[in-house]
Amino acid sequence: MLINFTLNHKSVTIDAPPDITLLTLLRDYLGLTGTKEGCAIGECGACAVMLDGRLVNSCLTLAPQVSGRELVTIEGISQPDGRPNDLQENFIEYGAVQCGYCIPGMVLAGEALLKRNPNPTRQQIRRAISGNLCRCTGYQQIVDAIEATAKDRTAHAKS
Ligand code: FES
Ligand code: FES
């Protein structure tokens, strides 16, 4: 079936079977391998993407469910020239990246949070990433990176 949607700010139409997951559509049909497969049963958040601004697990979403909607993957949040955005830079700056496998989902969880709550508490940050598992970092540095980005963006918006 033909699936039409907005992917990383561009309109796309792709011919794909109706019974595949969004994760498979992204990785195998569209070549966007930044979205990772971890558990494939909705428990790790490695496959998280933003659908209409909300975080969803692409392993639990059927591909046709994105029809007519706006999807953003990790490939869609970098700066226009391809450099990492401010949140990604802060992940690097605060040592929030080790093996990296959870990071696309973590960054999108952070972006989805900052979209609906530009000035979150640390507890709200922890809650926002609670569906994303990281086996490496202990989470502290990830919370630090999201918190620093919120502060930078708020300061920038005021100036
Ligand atoms: S791969 Fe989707 S939640 Fe783990
Ligand atoms: S950095 Fe390795 S799983 Fe999070």
Q: Which atom number of ligand 1 is nearest to the Cα of residue 36?
A: 1
Measured by CA distance, the residue closest to atom 3 of ligand 1 is 42
Q: Which of 76, 97, 116 is the last residue in one of the domains?
A: 76
CB of 95 within 6 A of ligand 2: the answer is no
Mind listing the pLDDT tens digit for each residue in 24-72?
A: 999 999 999 999 999 999 999 999 999 999 999 999 999 999 999 999 9
Coil/strand/helix, residue 2: strand
Q: Which ligand does the CA of 134 lie closest to?
A: 2
According to the model, what pLDDT value does residue 159 have?
78
Q: Are residues 97 and 148 in the same domain?
A: yes
* C-alpha 17 – ligand 2 centre gap (Å): 32
* Ligand 2 atom at shortest distance from the alpha carbon of 96: 1
Ligand 1 cavity residues, CB under 6 Å: 37-40, 42-47, 57, 59
pTM of the model: 0.96
- Taking the C-alpha atoms of residue 33 and residue 155, their distance in angstroms, rounded to an integer, is 34
Strands 2-7 and 70-72: parallel
* Alpha carbons 48 and 80: distance in angstroms, whole number: 22
Query: Under a CB-based contact definition with an 8 Å cutoff, are residues 8 and 18 in contact?
Result: no
- The ligand with the least distance to the CA atom of 44 is 1
Closest residue CA from atom 4 of ligand 2: 134
118 inside domain = yes
Higher pLDDT, 159 or 11: 11
| DSSP, res 21 | B
- 143 lies in a domain? yes
The domain boundary, picked from 76, 104, 136, lies at 76
110 and 58 in a single domain? The answer is no
My answer on whether 122 and 144 are in the same domain is: yes
* Domain enclosing residue 28, as ranges: 2-76
Ligand 2 center–CA 139 separation, angstroms = 9
Q: What is the pLDDT of residues 130-145, one digit of tens each?
A: 999 999 999 999 999 9
Q: Which residues contact 8 (CB under 8 A, 6 or more apart)?
A: 71, 72, 73, 75, 76
* 81 in any annotated domain: no
